[in-house]
């Protein structure tokens, strides 16, 4: 293609661009491609340990040698985590955005600020705070449900651990979705609502025929971000429950568990980064498929509309 | 313009130099225990200041013992100072991995001796991490060092050697097949240390009937129950654990056979005596609960006696192994060789590291060290003056390895049979999903068989 | 009246949400003011007296002062370099001044669709001998791509080309133009994006766990993580440490909230 003419020296332009390209190649695209290559080796995380090509051995171990039931549990957890986070987070984000967009409510910017704050606090603070609040022994929530005669292990009980992780993840990330929704809502021109009012449209009709269709692109973005984000997310899981409990392991968590042994207990063994890379490739394919499935179903919906 | 470019480059260079200078030389960091070295020293030819980097795991009594040892060494060799980095035991393997990878360490302490090496009947099992370290050349070969002769021969042969060469020193053994018990509560009810399972049952049931929680444990960290507790229970039931492990591999023993089901029944009882929600108690918190009287006994290893003592010096406690059918009273301790010292072979301070081990190999230095650690000594002729350790002398006549050191699970085995195989934390009563021990036994056997079948 | 009913429901909904979002922090703060014994006996009581010494002790134990400097250092360096790289990348590409500009941009887009490169990044840093160094830690957090790139691209389109031409007429060199003219013009976008990037760097925990093992290098998050692992017995102190880590973020957030939110919105709209 032809470059637009400019009097700036070409060499300067190129010079300015080189650092960015350099980093992108060496710390971005390069490593991404290398994950594929490393998945065929038995490289460990320890320097000086000789490593070799093992072909498909890692994949064989992942799919065949590993206990099937455990593998299926990991996949189930991954899907559950993804679907639950995406759906619930976006539902709540939508409702809150609608509520905060309505002129009836006072103090909207304060509420908006509060809801978004967890994103700023970061993963570690969020995880530690909820570990403390959801302490099964005599934490505040435990005491509260104790009033109803209920008990729960929260993060330590296989039945509820994943749910707690999902809750913590949503708590942290929902503000993000909500803010984007809010912006999307505010970009809908008021004239449309006024026109609707003239036509005698009711609140729910407003919502169905004006808000929803015009908000759809925004919702779409949020859902895509949530799907990919939740599939790649492992921080909350590893920081709250570590890598030892199969009840909360998702694909992303497994990658970090095998590659870096984060919070994994003393029986973890050496860092197996070749094996971890194989899991990472598996996760990558999984994300591709999930994205495609979502994209297809959205397309069909768009066609229907 | 060129000027701006130059400034940018200079700034970038400055930053990267600051960055690179960030850590390679930890000599700037204050030593945790030793006084900063002066540069005059009459004994050694090379007297320039040296900082030895050590890593170990969080355990207050260990850390204090090491700090004292380092202080003594620095007294003798004032030019040497120490930097000791610690992390929680659960994260320690990662720290080992990464520091050795980076070559950023001089003296490494290991959670145990070189153990759980795959046997000829454990086909396809992964090599333990320490083999990787030896074969990558991370551990210095010290076979020909003269100070080795001070140490117990058995320890040298069984704990710190590989393929005939010696790579470290193990400074003590610990027992972890039992429980601490509250002497006051025991006296109040007229209990004696149990020697058989039946006696143990009586104690626990009586306590429970009287509204006292029999046993607590730091279940949140997983290993206090699934490794220590399980090892104790298995060790009190199976007379020959090596045969048991081998039998599981060759198929002559099953988790579901009659004999093993007897053990599962005992586990079932044990679970009923544990503090509810014990899986939420972290290992660091458990001694506090024990000392506060929230439970009469606590599953733990003998190494933790120091922590209990620190919490309340007036608290009266004892330790006994899980009682069973394996031996008579007093039941014998089983455990492992604990802390091992290895030297990073590519360290620039290898000579000083060797001097350090030589220093430690002297009985007059070792004796107070092992006493502070609360370990059973591995140097012949050394008497520990640790009161607690000495109180266990009658239980240390025939010290053996714990179940944890005998069992190696097949690669990729499912969660029900992983680790030490009796994963009672997966029972509903402890927050898992499995209703009964019978079901758990079946699942464990299924997982075990599946993994064996998958071995090429 | 229907209006009132709906209004009430909405306020109720908001009240619940506010509670869920604010309670944990207040609880953490309350806990941090108790003594250990007070906490062990009752975790939900209001702190009887204000034991602010928990904060002093936690600060010393967790060595927070050293870690704060590290966090600031990492944040400033990574954010500045990333911002510069993104701007210098966005400008030629946005204007079309480079022949292969579209391909270069594609290089950055495709990065979002490739597998995660954390493991090879680690191996690379290891190979370069940069494990457990400041440089090694920061390398993974410097980059010209991502949301800032998109936002700058669009923003630059809104800056009239006359500025470029005026600069060349005056004989102004490229770099002088960028620093004296373009970047000042881009202040709002740069402000938002920098804050978002800075928060990301400040809050990083996973990279800190993977790449750093010497205490001197720890950012504040790593310090908090280690503190939690080491001193598990004292929850009030832990919460004090946590509040100290969270407080600067909350304060900064209170002031900069507008920029942050605008930045997020801009980023999402462009992508």
DSSP C210-270: HH--SGGG--HHHHHHHHHHH-TT-HHHHHHHHHHHHHHHHHHHHHHHHHHHHHHHHHHHH
- Chains adjacent to C (≥3 CB pairs closer than 8 angstroms): A, B
Question: CA A75, CA A67: separation in Å to the nearest integer?
Answer: 13
Is B99 in Cβ contact with C213 (below 8 Å)?
yes
CB atoms < 10 A from the CB of A163, how many? 17
**Chains A and B: how many Cβ contacts under 8 Å?**
117
pTM above 0.80, yes or no: yes
Q: Mark yes or no for CB contact C44/A143 under 8 Å.
A: yes
Query: Which residue from B5, B8, B285 is facing C233, i.e. has the nearest CB?
Result: B285
Chain mean position to CA C190: 14
Closest chain A CA to residue C259: A113
pLDDT band for position A211 (cuts 50, 70, 90): confident
Q: In a 10 Å sphere around its CB, with 0-12 CB exposed, 13-18 middle and 19+ buried, how is residue B315 labelled?
A: middle
User: What is the mean pLDDT of the segment spanning A23-32?
Assistant: 90
Domains and CATH numbers, chain C: 63-230 (1.10.3720.10)
Q: Kindly indicate the confidence band of residue C229, based on its pLDDT and cuts at 50, 70 and 90.
A: low
Cα A245 to Cα A241: distance, rounded to the nearest angstrom: 7
- Chain B residue whose CA is closest to C228: B88
Name the minimum distance, in Å, from the CA of C89 to any CA of chain A. 5
Pick the range with the lowest mean pLDDT from A77-91, B67-81, B409-423, C227-241: C227-241
Which of A20, A43, A225 lies closest to C89 in CB terms? A20
C209: nearest CB among A4, A122, A262: A262
* Residue B451: per-residue pLDDT: 87
A44 DSSP 8-state letter: B
**Strand pairing category for B169-170 and B340-343:** antiparallel
Candidates 3.40.50.300, 3.40.1210.10, 3.40.50.700, 3.40.190.10; CATH matching B44-174+337-393: 3.40.190.10
Chain B CB contacts of C76 under 8 Å are none
Question: What is the spatial distance between Cα B25 and Cα B33, in angstroms, rounded to a whole number?
Answer: 18
Is there a contact between B22 and C135 if contact means CB atoms under 8 Å apart? yes
Neighbours of chain A (3+ CB pairs under 8 A): B, C
Which chain A positions have a beta carbon within 8 Å of B277's beta carbon?
136-137, 153, 156
Q: Where are the alpha helices (DSSP H) in B125-274?
A: 129-135, 153-159, 183-188, 197-209, 223, 230-235, 241-250, 258-273
Cα–Cα distance for residue pair B174/C266, rounded to 1 Å = 61
Q: Is the Cβ pair A45, B100 closer than 8 Å?
A: no
Which chain B residue's Cα is nearest to C70?
B22
Residue C213 has pLDDT above 80, yes or no: no
- pLDDT, tens digit (0-9, with 9 covering 90-100), for C85-135: 999 998 888 888 888 888 888 888 888 788 888 889 988 888 888 888 899
Which chain B residue shows the shortest CA-CA distance from A246? B415
Return d(Cα B288, Cα C234) in angstroms, integer: 11
CB B89 within 8 A of CB B300: no
Task: Report CB contact under 8 Å: B90, A136.
Answer: no
- From C205, which residue of chain A is nearest by alpha-carbon distance? A124
Output the average pLDDT for chain A.
Answer: 85
Residues of C in contact with B24 (CB under 8 A): 133
Q: Which residues of C touch B284 (CB under 8 A)?
A: 231-233
Which residue of chain A has the CA closest to B57? A266
A265 part of contact set with chain B, CB < 8 Å: yes
* Burial zone of B173 (CB within 10 Å; 0-12 exposed, 13-18 middle, 19+ buried): buried
Quick one: closest CA in C to B289, which residue? C40
Provide the pLDDT confidence category of residue A148 given band limits of 50, 70 and 90.
confident
Residues of chain B with pLDDT under 70: 1-46, 456
Which pLDDT value is given to residue B32? 33
Residue C232: half-sphere exposure toward Cβ, Cα within 13 Å: 20
Most confident of A104-118, B295-309, C25-39: B295-309
A49 interaction partners in chain B (CB closer than 8 Å): 132, 135-136
Which residue of C134, C232, C233, C237 is the best one to mutate when testing the B interface, meaning the one whose CB has the most B CBs within 10 A? C232
- What's the CATH code, domain B178-332+409-454? 3.40.190.10
- Count Cα neighbours of A53 within 13 Å in the Cβ-side half-sphere: 3
Locate the chain A residue with the closest alpha carbon to C92.
A13
- Which residue in chain A has the smallest CA separation from B449? A67
Cβ–Cβ gap B412/A263 under 8 Å: no
Could you tell me the residue ranges of all domains in chain A? 57-304
Integer Cα distance of B154 and B219 in angstroms = 34
- Which residues touch B90 (CB under 8 Å, ≥6 apart)? A242, A263, A264, A265, A266, B221, B223, C229
Pairing of strands B50-57, B80-87: parallel
Q: What's the 3-state SS for B45-114?
A: CCCCCEEEEEEEECCHHHHHHHHHHHHHHHHHCCCEEEEEEEECHHHHHHHHHHHHHHCCCCEEEECCCC
- Backbone φ and ψ for B82, nearest 5 degrees, come out as -125, 145
Which residues in chain B have their CB less than 8 angstroms from residue C231's CB? 284
Looking at chain C, list the stretches that DSSP marks H as alpha helix, in order from N- to C-terminal side. Answer: 2-32, 36-41, 53-61, 64-95, 101-110, 118-127, 134-139, 147-157, 162-169, 174-177, 183-185, 187-202, 206-211, 220-230, 235-270
- Assess contact for C59 and C126: CB atoms under 8 A: no
- CA distance, residue B443 to nearest chain A CA (Å): 11
Closest residue on chain B to C125 (Cα): B102
The answer to whether B282 and B153 have CB atoms below 8 angstroms apart is: no
Interface test with A, best of B123, B285, B431 (most A CBs within 10 A): B431
Residues of chain B with CATH 3.40.190.10: 44-174+337-393, 178-332+409-454
- Chain B residues touching residue A66 (CB < 8 angstroms): 412
Q: Are A266 and B89 a contacting pair at CB < 8 A?
A: yes
3-state class (DSSP) for residue A150: coil
Report residue A47's pLDDT band, with 50, 70 and 90 as the boundaries.
Answer: low
- Residues of chain A with Cβ-Cβ distance to C236 below 8 Å are none
Distance CA A275, CA A24 (A): 25
Q: A170 or A305: which carries more pLDDT confidence? A: A170
C260 Cα to chain B: minimum distance (Å): 27
Q: In which band, very low, low, confident or very high, does the pLDDT at C228 lie, cut at 50, 70 and 90?
A: low
Q: Do C268 and A183 touch (CB under 8 A)?
A: yes
CA distance C157 to chain B (A): 24
Chain B hits for C81, CB-CB cut-off 8 Å, are 12, 15
Using DSSP's 3-state secondary structure scheme, residue C63 falls into coil
Sign of CA dihedral B41, B47, B50, B54: negative
Q: Percent of chain C, pLDDT > 90? A: 15
CB contact under 8 A, B412 and A61: yes
Select from C41, C74, C79, C135 the residue whose CB has the most chain B CBs within 10 Å, as the one to mutate to test that interface. C135
With CA atoms as reference, the chain A residue closest to B89 would be: A266
- Is A136 in contact with B5 (Cβ distance < 8 A)? no
| Range A221-229 average pLDDT | 89
pLDDT of the residue at B25: 35
* CA–CA min distance B158, chain C (Å): 31
Contact A55/B at CB under 8 A = no
Considering the domain A57-304 in this protein, what is its CATH number? 1.10.3720.10
Distance from CA of C186 to the nearest CA of B (A): 19
Higher pLDDT, B43 or A54: A54
> Is A112 or B101 the better-scoring residue by pLDDT?
A112
Contact A65 B227 (CB under 8 A): no
| Widest CA span in chain B | 90
Are the Cβ atoms of B22 and C77 closer than 8 angstroms?
no
């Amino acid at each position: 293609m032809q470059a637009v003419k400019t009097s700036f020296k070409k060499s300067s332009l190129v010079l300015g661009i080189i650092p960015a390209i350099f980093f992108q190649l060496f710390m971005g695209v390069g490593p991404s491609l290398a994950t594929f290559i490393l998945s065929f080796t038995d490289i460990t995380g320890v320097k000086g340990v000789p490593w070799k090509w093992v072909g498909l051995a890692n994949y064989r171990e992942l799919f065949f040698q590993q206990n099937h039931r455990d593998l299926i549990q990991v996949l189930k957890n991954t899907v559950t985590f993804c679907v639950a986070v995406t759906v619930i987070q976006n539902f709540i984000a939508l409702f809150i955005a609608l509520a905060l967009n309505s002129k009836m409510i006072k103090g909207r910017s304060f509420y908006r600020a509060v809801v978004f704050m967890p994103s700023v606090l970061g993963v570690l603070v969020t995880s530690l705070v909820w570990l403390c609040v959801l302490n099964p022994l005599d934490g505040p929530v435990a005491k509260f449900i104790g009033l109803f005669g209920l008990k729960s292990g929260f993060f330590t009980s296989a039945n509820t651990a994943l749910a707690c992780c999902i809750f913590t993840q949503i708590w942290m990330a929902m503000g993000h979705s909500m803010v984007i929704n809010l912006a999307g809502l505010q970009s809908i021109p008021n004239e449309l609502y006024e026109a609707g009012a003239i036509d005698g449209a009711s609140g729910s009709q407003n919502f169905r025929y004006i808000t929803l269709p015009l908000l759809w692109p925004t919702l779409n973005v949020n859902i895509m971000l949530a799907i990919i984000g939740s599939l790649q997310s492992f921080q909350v899981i590893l920081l709250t429950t570590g890598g030892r409990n199969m009840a909360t392991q998702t694909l992303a968590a497994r990658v970090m568990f095998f590659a870096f042994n984060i919070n994994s207990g003393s029986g973890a063994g050496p860092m197996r980064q070749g094996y971890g890379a194989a899991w990472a490739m598996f996760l990558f394919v999984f994300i591709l498929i999930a994205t495609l499935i979502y994209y297809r179903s959205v397309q069909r919906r768009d066609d229907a509309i | 313009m060129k000027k701006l470019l130059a400034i940018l480059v200079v700034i970038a260079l400055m930053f990267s130099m600051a960055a690179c200078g960030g850590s390679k030389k930890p000599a700037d960091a204050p030593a945790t225990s030793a006084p900063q070295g002066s540069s005059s020293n009459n004994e050694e030819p090379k007297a320039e200041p040296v900082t030895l980097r050590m890593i170990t795991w969080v355990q207050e009594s260990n850390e204090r013992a090491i700090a004292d040892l380092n202080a003594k060494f620095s007294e003798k060799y004032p030019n040497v100072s120490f930097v000791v980095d610690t992390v929680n035991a659960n994260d320690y393997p990662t720290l080992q991995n990464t520091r050795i990878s980076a070559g950023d360490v001089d003296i490494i302490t290991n959670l145990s001796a070189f153990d759980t090496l795959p046997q000829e009947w454990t086909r396809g099992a992964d090599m333990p991490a320490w083999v990787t370290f030896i074969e990558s050349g991370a551990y210095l070969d010290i076979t020909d060092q003269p100070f080795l002769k001070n140490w117990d021969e058995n320890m040298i042969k069984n704990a710190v050697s590989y393929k005939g060469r010696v790579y470290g020193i193990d400074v003590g053994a610990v027992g972890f097949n039992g429980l601490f018990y509250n002497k006051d509560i025991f006296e109040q009810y007229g209990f004696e240390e149990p020697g058989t399972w039946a006696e143990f049952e009586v104690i626990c049931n009586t306590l429970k009937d009287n509204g006292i929680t029999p046993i607590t444990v730091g279940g949140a960290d997983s290993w206090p129950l699934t490794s220590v507790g399980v090892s104790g229970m298995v060790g009190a039931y199976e007379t020959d654990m090596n045969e048991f492990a081998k039998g599981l591999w060759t198929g002559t023993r099953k988790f579901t056979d009659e004999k093993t089901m007897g053990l599962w029944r005992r586990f079932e009882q044990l679970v009923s005596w544990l503090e509810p929600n014990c899986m939420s108690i972290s290992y660091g918190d458990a001694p506090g609960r024990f000392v506060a009287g929230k439970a009469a006994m606590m599953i733990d290893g003998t190494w933790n006696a120091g922590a209990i003592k620190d919490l309340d010096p007036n608290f009266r406690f004892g330790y006994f192994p899980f009682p069973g059918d394996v031996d008579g009273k007093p039941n014998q301790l089983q455990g492992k060789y604990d802390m091992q010292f290895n030297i990073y072979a590519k360290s620039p301070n290898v000579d000083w590291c060797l001097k350090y081990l030589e220093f430690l190999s002297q009985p007059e230095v070792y004796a107070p060290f092992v006493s502070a650690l609360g370990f059973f000594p591995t140097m012949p002729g050394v008497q520990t003056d640790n009161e607690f350790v000495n109180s266990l002398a009658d239980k240390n006549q025939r010290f053996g390895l714990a179940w944890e050191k005998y069992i190696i699970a097949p690669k990729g085995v499912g969660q029900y049979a992983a680790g030490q195989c009796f994963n009672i934390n997966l029972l509903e009563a402890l927050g898992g999903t499995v209703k009964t021990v019978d079901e758990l036994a079946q699942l464990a056997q299924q997982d075990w068989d599946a993994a064996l079948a998958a071995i090429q | 009246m229907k209006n009132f009913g709906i209004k009430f429901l909405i306020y109720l909904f908001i009240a619940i949400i506010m509670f869920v979002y604010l309670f944990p922090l207040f609880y953490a703060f309350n806990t941090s003011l108790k003594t250990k014994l007070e906490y062990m006996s009752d975790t939900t009581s209001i702190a009887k007296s204000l034991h602010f010494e928990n904060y002093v002790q936690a600060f010393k134990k967790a060595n927070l002062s050293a870690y704060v400097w590290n966090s600031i250092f990492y944040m400033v360096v990574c954010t500045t370099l990333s911002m510069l790289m993104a701007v210098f990348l966005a400008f030629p590409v946005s204007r079309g001044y480079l022949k292969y500009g579209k391909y270069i941009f594609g290089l950055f887009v495709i990065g979002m669709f490739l597998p995660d490169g954390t493991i090879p990044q680690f191996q690379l840093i290891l190979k370069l001998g940069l494990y457990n160094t400041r440089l090694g830690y920061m390398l993974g957090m410097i980059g010209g791509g991502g949301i800032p790139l998109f936002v700058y691209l669009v923003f630059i389109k809104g800056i009239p080309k006359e500025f470029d031409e005026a600069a060349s007429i005056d004989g102004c060199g490229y770099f002088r133009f960028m620093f004296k003219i373009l970047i000042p013009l881009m202040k709002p976008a740069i402000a938002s994006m920098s804050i978002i990037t800075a928060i990301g760097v400040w809050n990083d925990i996973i990279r800190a766990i993977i790449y750093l093992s010497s205490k001197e290098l720890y950012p504040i998050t790593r310090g908090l993580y280690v503190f939690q692992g080491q001193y598990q017995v004292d929850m009030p102190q832990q919460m004090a440490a946590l509040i100290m880590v969270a407080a600067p973020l909350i304060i900064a957030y209170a002031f900069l909230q507008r920029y942050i939110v605008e930045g997020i919105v801009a980023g999402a709209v462009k992508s």
